[in-house]
Amino acid sequence: NAGVTQTPKFQVLKTGQSMTLQCAQDMNHNSMYWYRQDPGMGLRLIYYSASEGTTDKGEVPNGYNVSRLNKREFSLRLESAAPSQTSVYFCASSGLLAGGTDTQYFGPGTRLTVL
C-alpha cells in the first residue's frame, strides 16, 4: 500500500515549456486534490476532483489544467510554465478516519522550478 505517489519529485522548466505532474493513490479514495505551497502562503488549492469524471477549480486555478483519468489517477498540467509557478506541488486524496469523518492524505510533493 503506497498511499499517494507523485512523479516527478523534482523538475526544472524553462518559461513557456509544458509539463504534466502525475499523481496516483491506491486507497480507493473518491476525492483528490492538487495544492501548491509557497513560503509564507501556506497550502493553496489549485483544483480538486470529488469523484471520477468530475473536476472543479480551487483558489488558484489560473495557468493549470487537470485530468481525473480514473479513480486512482489525477494529473496536473502546466501548458506554458511561468516563473510564478515555481513552487512545491502536493497531491492529496481524501479518505475516512475512524469515527466517520474524512481527511486528506498527502503525496511526497514535486519541487518545480521555472527559469
- DSSP states along 55-74: -EE-S--TTEEEEE-SSSBE
Q: Which is nearer to other proteins, 8 or 108 (CB)?
A: 108
Segment 37 to 96, residues that bind other proteins, using CB under 8 A: 40-43, 45, 48, 50, 90, 94
Q: Pick one of 22, 27, 72, 102: the residue that binds other proteins (CB under 8 A).
A: 102
- Work out whether 113 is an interface residue with other proteins (CB under 8 A): no
**Structure-block grid coordinates of residue 33:** 486534490
Q: Which is nearer to other proteins, 52 or 102 (CB)?
A: 102
Minimum CB–partner distance for residue 16 and other proteins (Å): 28
Minimum CB–partner distance for residue 21 and other proteins (Å): 14
Cis preceding linkage at 8, omega within 30:
yes
Region from 16-24, 66-74, 76-84, 106-114 binding other proteins, contact rule CB under 8 A = 106-114
The count of other CB atoms within 10 Å of the CB of residue 89 is 22
Q: Coil, strand, or helix at residue 84? A: helix
User: Length of the chain in residues, anyone?
Assistant: 115
